[in-house]
Amino acid sequence: MPLQNLHTHSTFCDGKDTPHDIVKRAAELGMTAIGFSSHSFTEFDLSYCMKDEQKYISECRSLKDEYTGVTDVFCGLELDYYSPIPAYDYDYVIGSVHYINVGGDYIPVDESPKILQAAAERYFGGDMQKLCELYYETAASVFKKTQCDIIGHFDLITKFCEQNPKLIDTESIRYKHAVFSALDELIKSDSVFEVNTGAMARGLRTLPYPSSECLKRIKENGGRIILTSDCHAKEKLLFGFEEAKEALKEFGFKEQMYFDGKAFTFTAL
């Protein structure tokens, strides 16, 4: 049975474990493949991103050789919307929007509810919906901007919503319009939506990104999905996969995508 996770962070960016320890764990879990996706370089925020791309790539390659016949090892990149175009050839790219850009100021949308609230006050006259509209306008063009194979955590801006229900009115017509416009634009692209359990692993959400409503719409409109854990610690490599699979089946999904090093093909959920 094919089993992989393509969204994995290591000590080359903000992950806890070395690539070697992660691949070892993946092999122990019987995973058929593990893909690394270090954070691309963002010059305006050095706190979490990768600084040594060459070393990262050569480490991935040597692990690929070491684990041949056991677990496939891929070298991917989580490319932030505001990072430069990658200078190296990666096996695949996850395109992610982690910031909104307001007049040259980069505001992280996944740091804390406080930062989001302060940004809504400072830049949008307290109108959180306007901030969300800017986020989804940016997300809508993530494929055009990054040419990504996978769309990372599509509605990341909802990271804190379960625990802070008043932070964003996700039931408003304006919010839904913003979300669905972006979603419909991306469904038309060749990219695959990741179903990301990262915030579940952090105890912030009980459901993966994107929301159930988004997943139903992706299904209805023929979008493709891939399950990932946005792993930052090897114990969480497959976190929430079984729960997420059950939820996806309820929405009518029977298959997800599997990456074999060259292409994405359908595999049973």
**Binding segment for Zn ion among 90-98, 113-121, 177-185, 237-245 (CB under 5 A)?**
90-98
DSSP assignment of 27-53 equals: HHTT-SEEEEEEEPP-TT--SSS-S-H
Choose between 8 and 256: whose C-beta lies nearer to Zn ion.
Answer: 8
**Cα gap 140→233, rounded to integer Å:** 30
Per the CB < 8 A criterion, the answer to whether 225 and 248 are in contact is yes
Choose between 151 and 248: whose C-beta lies nearer to Zn ion.
Answer: 151
Radius of gyration of the chain (CA): 18
**Cα gap 35→76, rounded to integer Å:** 6
Choose between 189 and 197: whose C-beta lies nearer to Zn ion.
Answer: 197
**Binding segment for Zn ion among 91-99, 176-184, 239-247, 257-265 (CB under 5 A)?**
91-99
Identity of the residue numbered 113: P
Which of 191, 193, 230, 257 binds Zn ion (CB under 5 A)? It is 230
Per the CB < 8 A criterion, the answer to whether 63 and 19 are in contact is yes
Q: Is residue 17 part of the contact set for Zn ion (CB under 5 A)? A: no
Show the tokens assigned to 193.
Answer: 């939506």
Choose between 96 and 138: whose C-beta lies nearer to Zn ion.
Answer: 96
**Binding segment for Zn ion among 59-67, 88-96, 180-188, 202-210 (CB under 5 A)?**
88-96
Which of 10, 42, 96, 229 binds Zn ion (CB under 5 A)? It is 96
Q: Are strands 105-108 and 99-102 parallel, antiparallel or unpaired?
A: antiparallel
> By the criterion CB under 5 A, which residues form the site for Zn ion?
78, 96, 230
